[in-house]
Amino acid sequence: MEAASPQPFVFRRPALARGYADALLGVGPFDRTSGLFLAAPRRTGKTTFVKNDLGDELRARGVEVVYVDLWADRQRDPAALIADAIRGALRTLDGSVVRAARRAGLTKAGLGSWVSFDLDQIGAPDGPTLTDALRAVTERAGGPVALIIDEAQHALTTEAGADAMFALKAARDALGATDKGRRLLLVMTGSHRDKLAHLVLRRDQPFFGGEVSDLPRLGRDFSDAYTAWLNARLAEGNRFEPNGVWAAFTALGQRPELLRRELERAALSEAGAPALQVALADGARALRERIWEEFDGEFGGLSPLQQAILLRIAETAEGFAPFSSASLAAYAERNGAPVSASEAQAAIEVLRGRNLVWKSARGSYALEDQELGEWLRARTALPPGRNQ
Ligand SMILES: Nc1ncnc2c1ncn2[C@@H]1O[C@H](COP(=O)(O)OP(=O)(O)OP(=O)(O)O)[C@@H](O)[C@H]1O
Ligand SMILES: [Mg+2]
């Protein structure tokens, strides 16, 4: 007989989800009825949280949840992915409406025009708009709809994607509210706070006036629960100590996957229980250093001007103006020679090509990897061009 594959450990955060659901529905102390923007670094559990915890909480409150990950297919335009997700929701809802109608003895014709809504044309120039489609979803669902857009900042890398974001804002306003709150609830996540901020900061950005919140990282309660879960499955004498696991988890930037890998390595090593703690501490420290060594190598391989640009982005964040006189002066200082705007432009292009710098379709910039920003800020005291 084949053994059942082990259930993975998933830590739930229902209280956090309740708070966000309250804010989205406008029933708590904090108002996010115009949109909830959640940022947290890569691999820290954003998708898991919004899909499972927040999704379940919203569904439990009668909200229809539509989820779309803009990184699901990097080749496709984000606007097309959003239209797909809404189309998928309509198909599912139509199916259940038709089934319910049949059960009630109605014929398909008796359902009226909304069954024949042209799904394939959603978002097409002459087709139904996103507002039309989302209105159809709320009508069929009989309640509010939450659209969860994972890695929402990615929408801003194409014109169509940016347009889709404006269309969603228009839909949110056009669909209006009932006495129980808005009909369209918007949740957007991003692994990069600065990039997500490009949706809300300026007047010409789709959700101007919105606020980006940091999704709290998994904490001590996660690491304790995970330790207990693991220990229940490990032989006596080969068990983890909660303080050690927590220390490792923080050293690993609170990334569950990295922790799992390190604990696995330790638990499956030949050494017994006493050596386990040592292996754990060493492994986590070494791993953290390995991540940072990569940045060391990458940064060291750049020209002084390229380094100067990265540092400037890290320092000024959302306020980064690539060719302002202050920026050019800052580059020149590190570069040891004057820098023209066209030289800076060329260097930025190299950095984009190396996936170090992200640029929106509207010409805003950010570091591609937030961890690189932390590393850079920790090292701003370094002399320029030390690879020379
Ligand atoms: N609550 C949790 N309990 C257990 N494991 C978790 C939890 N949250 C995340 N993980 C694990 O951590 C890893 C990253 O999770 P997830 O994909 O949700 O993070 P993310 O922040 O969305 O990552 P990305 O930046 O790649 O989008 C996955 O392997 C996932 O199984
Ligand atoms: Mg994710």
Between CA 370 and CA 375, with CA 374 as vertex, the angle to 5 degrees is 110
In the block, residue with structure tokens 């909304």: 114
Contacts of 54 (CB under 8 A, 6+ apart): 17, 20, 21, 148, 187
Rounded Cα distance between 50 and 230, Å, is 25
Q: Is the CB of 238 within 6 Å of ligand 1?
A: no
Ligand 1 centroid to Cα of residue 45, in Å, is: 3
List, as ranges, residues with CB under 5 A of the ion ligand 2.
46-47
Return the pLDDT at 58.
97
Q: What pTM, to 2 d.p., does this model score?
A: 0.80
Residue with CA closest to ligand 1 atom 26: 43
Residue 186 to residue 148: CA distance in whole angstroms: 6
Better-scored residue on pLDDT, 128 or 165: 165
Angle between helices 130-141 and 159-175 (to 10 degrees): 50
Ligand 1 pocket check: which of 43, 187, 217, 254 to mutate, most ligand atoms within 8 Å of Cβ? 43
pLDDT tens digits along 262-299: 888 888 877 655 556 777 777 777 777 777 777 888 89
Residue 119 and residue 298: Cα distance in Å, rounded? 47
Q: What's the CA angle centered on 40, arms 37 and 42, to 5 degrees? A: 130
Task: State which ligand 1 atom lies nearest to the alpha carbon of 40.
Answer: 21
Residue nearest to atom 23 of ligand 1 (CA): 43
For the Cβ of 43 lying below 6 angstroms from any atom of ligand 1, the answer is yes
pLDDT at 121 over 80: no
Cα gap 244→152, rounded to integer Å: 36
Alpha carbon 281 to chain centroid, angstroms: 29
- What is the distance in A from the centroid of ligand 2 to the CA of 46? 5
Residue among 12, 75, 69, 66 at smallest CA distance from 229: 12
Gap between the Cα atoms of 331 and 308, Å rounded: 5
Instruction: State the pairing for strand pair 64-69/145-150.
Output: parallel
* Contact call for residues 254 and 216 (beta carbons, < 8 A): no
Nearest atom, ligand 1, residue 69 CA: 27
Helices and strands, counts by H and E, the chain: 15, 9
* pLDDT score for 159: 87
Spell out the long-range contacts of 71-76 with Cβ–Cβ below 8 A and sequence spacing 24 or more.
Answer: 71/150, 71/151, 71/154
- The yes-or-no verdict on residue 221 having pLDDT over 90 is yes
* Distance from C-alpha of 174 to C-alpha of 171, rounded to nearest angstrom: 5
* pLDDT tens-digit map of 99-116: 666 565 554 443 444 444
Q: 21 or 123: which carries more pLDDT confidence? A: 21
| pLDDT tens, position by position, 293-344 | 778 888 999 999 999 999 999 988 888 999 999 999 999 999 999 999 999 9
Instruction: Single out the residue of 374, 4, 32 nearest to residue 192, CA to CA.
Output: 374
Whether residue 10 has its Cβ less than 6 Å from ligand 1: yes
Most confident of 114-128, 216-230, 234-248, 259-273: 216-230
Q: Using one digit for the tens of pLDDT, what is the confidence trace for 27-81?
A: 989 999 999 999 998 889 999 999 999 999 999 999 999 999 998 887 888 888 9
Evaluate: CB of 47 within 6 angstroms of ligand 1: yes
Percent of the chain with pLDDT over 70: 87
Predicted local distance difference test score (pLDDT) of residue 2: 53
**pLDDT mean across residues, the chain:** 84
Give the distance (Å) from ligand 1 centre to CA of residue 18.
Answer: 19
User: If you measure from the C-alpha of residue 144 to the centroid of ligand 2, how many angstroms do you get, rounded to a whole number?
Assistant: 24
CB-ligand 1 contact for 52 (6 Å cutoff): no
Quote the ligand 1 centre to 159 CA distance (angstroms): 30
Assign 220 to helix, strand or coil.
helix
